[in-house]
């Protein structure tokens, strides 16, 4: 039996977290999912050294944090307004990792630029 740790935030259905919401779909499957409601790195079960990670991550920082833990396998679910999907990352160093898949194709504004823009401040 395979085991996977899953960390994420609560789902839109506030009565269940995203990992526990997947339980009915995996009923009777040999994959055992252990839902962990914790931020990545908050404890030993949700941090570096975990061999397989199921994730639903919304920020570049979260993807970097998980990939930096060098799990052997990462499976990431994602949604868009009219779309949903998943990506698998099973060969770090030879195939795109969780971070590389989302590499920007143009210059991104810095944190300072984002804040200045949000406050309506002129560029320096």
Q: Where are the beta strands (DSSP E) in the chain?
A: 2-7, 31-36, 52-55, 73-80, 83-89
Neighbours of 52 (CB within 10 A): 17
Q: C-alpha distances in angstroms, 100 versus 11, 12, 22, 45, 70?
A: 25, 27, 26, 24, 14
For the stretch 5-30, pLDDT in tens is 444 444 454 455 566 666 777 778 88
Q: What pLDDT score was predicted for residue 119? A: 92
Reply yes or no on whether the pLDDT at 97 is more than 50: yes
- Judged by average pLDDT, the poorest of 14-18, 48-52, 66-70, 105-109 is 14-18
What does DSSP say about strands 52-55 and 73-80: parallel, antiparallel, or unpaired? parallel
The position carrying tokens 């931020």 is 39
Domain boundaries, the chain: 2-118
């Amino acid at each position: 039996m395979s085991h996977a740790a899953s960390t994420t935030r609560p789902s839109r259905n506030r009565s269940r977290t995203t990992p526990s919401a997947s339980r009915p779909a995996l009923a009777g499957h040999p994959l055992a999912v252990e839902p962990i409601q914790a931020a990545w790195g908050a404890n030993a079960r949700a941090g570096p050294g975990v061999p397989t990670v199921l994730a639903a991550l919304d920020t570049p920082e979260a993807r970097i944090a998980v990939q930096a833990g060098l799990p052997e396998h990462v499976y990431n679910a994602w949604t868009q307004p009219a779309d949903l999907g998943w990506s698998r990352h099973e060969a770090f160093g030879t195939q795109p990792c969780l971070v590389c898949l989302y590499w920007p194709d143009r210059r991104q504004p810095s944190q300072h630029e984002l804040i200045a823009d949000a406050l309506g401040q002129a560029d320096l």
